[in-house]
Amino acid sequence: MTAPYDLAVIGGGVNGVGIARDAAGRGLSVLLVEQNDLASGTSSASTKLIHGGLRYLEYREFRLVRESLAEREVLLRAAPHIIHPLRFVLPHHAGLRPWWMLRAGLFLYDHLGGRRILPPTRTLDLRRDPAGTPLQPRYTRAFEYSDCQVDDSRLVALCARDAAARGAEVCTRTRCTTARRADGLWRLSLQTTGHAREAAARVLVNAAGPWVMRVLQDVIGDNEPRRIRLVKGSHLVTRRLFEHDRSYIFQNADGRICFAIPYQDDFTLIGTTDEDYVGDPAAVSIKPEEETYLLAAVSDYFRRPVMSSDIVWRFAGVRSLQDDGASSAQQATRDYALDLKGEPPLLSVFGGKITTFRRLAEAAMARLAPFFPGLSAAWTHPAPLPGGEFPPDGAPALHAALQSRYGFLSGPTVRRLVHSYGTLAADMLGDARSAGDLGQVFGADLTEQEVNWLIRTEWARTAEDVLWRRSKLGLRLSGNEQSALMRWFADSRLSRVETGSS
């Protein structure tokens, strides 16, 4: 067994990698284990917003909304390649929330968390503004406000990269099967494809998201009851439903809200539902009733009804929330809680949002500081994530520089690479002088060079990791192309086994 780590983290979602990154940057030795791929749980199934959460104001979640609003610009500065500002159009619906109430909520939203980069709320006349064009004529006025969109699974990969660059050991496809306290340390049994391994750590963090209770009960053997609620949400991705680059937030007659968000240039993301969930989080999927609900919700607004035949992809996720006794899933608090117990200490993470992962990691380190005398101060606030070392309005300059160095790439490819890898796009492309230098093309603009780079630098191990989490090229590759990529992975694994390389 290797020397004990200061900190072992169970879970490679946004909260686990966020804590691992923060801890490694403070000089702690860190091990992170993820049973599947990075972001294979809830952190790739979100609505992909870095947002204050306008609707949480109705539930008086002022602490959470203030922290989340402030975090928007911190994260936008840290990762301007994968996070960008988005304007949200909120049409007024006669019979639902009154105009004055929306105005009051948005006034608070504009002022609660501070705002320097993002523009303020304004009102729109939908009879004149292009945002009204795809909507039914009965919607005549709207508010337009700011939030941000994020590539959630890339955010996780970038935090993991940064954690590893600062010394953390990140092990994917590694499941923690048992964790026990012995001789002042945590003793962990880890199961990786084909072999088992032991590790020891001074502190254990349970950041297993919707598996948090399973890890407590089955891995750690802690059966103390806790009030946790699993809440599921589903999304649809359709072909692009409107031409402009703003998003819609629609109010539904049942009091819920539904987003229709421009997604990956050619698509629209619709979501989400909110319902209590029982069962294995890995088995979550969208039910036909949820699809019907979402299609009806957006068709109540768009001129052209949105149909099942418009759908190109569906996904669902589960979050673990603190059970605050709220009557419905949509009302349950989205705020996070950290539970610190015992010696050696165990810190469990409950709830949280993508938006608050950095603050959650800071709060986790503040709770753990007494166990690490002399621990250095919080550092992540001004720190860019890998590839994010450029200003929030700097993407066009980066695009121009990349296009001039790699003149053989098309404009849309350069745009995709800038928004995926930022300043690291050139690292991925290396010395390539022609399209041929990038190797086999798997479909769309995905090349062997890119896949190999993702294997080397971002723990990609399967076609699914590349197509649905390191990128969303799964939306663009045909079934045959995806199968060819799977075969390529199988062949390259085989050749690694034959040559004895790992």
Q: Specify whether the CB–CB gap between 274 and 194 falls below 8 A.
A: no
- Tell me, residue by residue from 319 to 358, as one string, x for binding to ligand FAD by CB under 6 A and - for no binding: x-----------------------------x--xxxx---
Which residue is listed with tokens 């992809």? Answer: 313
Site for ligand FAD in 168-197 (CB under 6 A): 175-176
Q: Residue 206 CB, nearest distance to ligand FAD (Å)?
A: 9
Q: Residue 55 CB, nearest distance to ligand FAD (Å)?
A: 12
Query: What single letter denotes the amino acid at residue 290?
Result: E
Q: Residue 492 CB, nearest distance to ligand FAD (Å)?
A: 24
Mind giving me the DSSP string for 400-466? Answer: HHHHHHTTTS-HHHHHHHHHHHGGGHHHHHTT--SGGGG--EEETTEEHHHHHHHHHHH---SHHII
Closest CB to ligand FAD among residues 54, 409:
54
Q: Specify whether the CB–CB gap between 4 and 185 falls below 8 A.
A: yes
Closest CB to ligand FAD among residues 233, 388:
233
Q: What is the dihedral angle through the alpha carbons of 208, 209, 213, 217, rounded to the nearest 10 degrees?
A: -10
Which residue is listed with tokens 């492309």? Answer: 429
Q: Which of 5, 6, 26, 43 binds ligand FAD (CB under 6 A)?
A: 43
* Cβ-based burial of 452 (10 A; exposed 0-12, middle 13-18, buried ≥19): middle
247 touches ligand FAD by CB under 6 A: no
What DSSP designation does 390 have? S
Q: Residue 244 CB, nearest distance to ligand FAD (Å)?
A: 21
Site for ligand FAD in 47-76 (CB under 6 A): 47-49
Q: Which of 14, 78, 201, 286 binds ligand FAD (CB under 6 A)?
A: 14
Closest CB to ligand FAD among residues 348, 413:
348
Q: Which of 121, 153, 251, 272 binds ligand FAD (CB under 6 A)?
A: 272
Q: Residue 232 CB, nearest distance to ligand FAD (Å)?
A: 7
Site for ligand FAD in 199-218 (CB under 6 A): 207-211, 215
113 touches ligand FAD by CB under 6 A: no
Q: Which of 11, 113, 384, 474 binds ligand FAD (CB under 6 A)?
A: 11
Question: Which stretches within 221-270 are classed as H helix?
Answer: none
Please state the separation of Cα 151 from the chain's center in Å. Answer: 6
Closest CB to ligand FAD among residues 354, 454:
354
Q: Residue 449 CB, nearest distance to ligand FAD (Å)?
A: 28
Site for ligand FAD in 361-390 (CB under 6 A): none
Question: Which stretches within 324-410 are classed as H helix?
Answer: 357-368, 395-405
Closest CB to ligand FAD among residues 75, 429:
75
15 touches ligand FAD by CB under 6 A: yes
* Cβ-based burial of 379 (10 A; exposed 0-12, middle 13-18, buried ≥19): middle
Token representation of residue 314: 């569906």
Closest CB to ligand FAD among residues 361, 402:
361
Q: Specify whether the CB–CB gap between 148 and 355 falls below 8 A.
A: no
Closest CB to ligand FAD among residues 48, 419:
48
Which helix (H) or strand (E) segment holds residue 190: the answer is strand 185-192
Distance CA 473, CA 413 (A): 12
Q: Which of 6, 22, 30, 42 binds ligand FAD (CB under 6 A)?
A: 42
Distance CA 336, CA 353 (A): 8
Q: Which of 4, 5, 9, 12 binds ligand FAD (CB under 6 A)?
A: 12
Which residues on neighbouring strands pair with residue 347, listed in sequence order? 205, 340
Please state the separation of Cα 500 from the chain's center in Å. Answer: 35
Other C-beta atoms closer than 10 Å to the C-beta of 40 total 22
The stretch near ligand FAD (CB under 6 A) out of 4-12, 129-137, 197-205, 246-254 is 4-12
Distance CA 493, CA 481 (A): 19
What DSSP designation does 338 have? E
- What 3-state DSSP class applies to 95? coil
Size of the site for ligand FAD (CB under 6 A): 39
Q: Which of 29, 35, 348, 380 binds ligand FAD (CB under 6 A)?
A: 35
Please state the separation of Cα 15 from the chain's center in Å. Answer: 10
Q: Residue 115 CB, nearest distance to ligand FAD (Å)?
A: 17
Residues found near ligand FAD in the complex (CB under 6 A) = 10-16, 33-36, 40-43, 45-49, 175-176, 207-211, 215, 219, 233, 272, 317-319, 349, 352-355
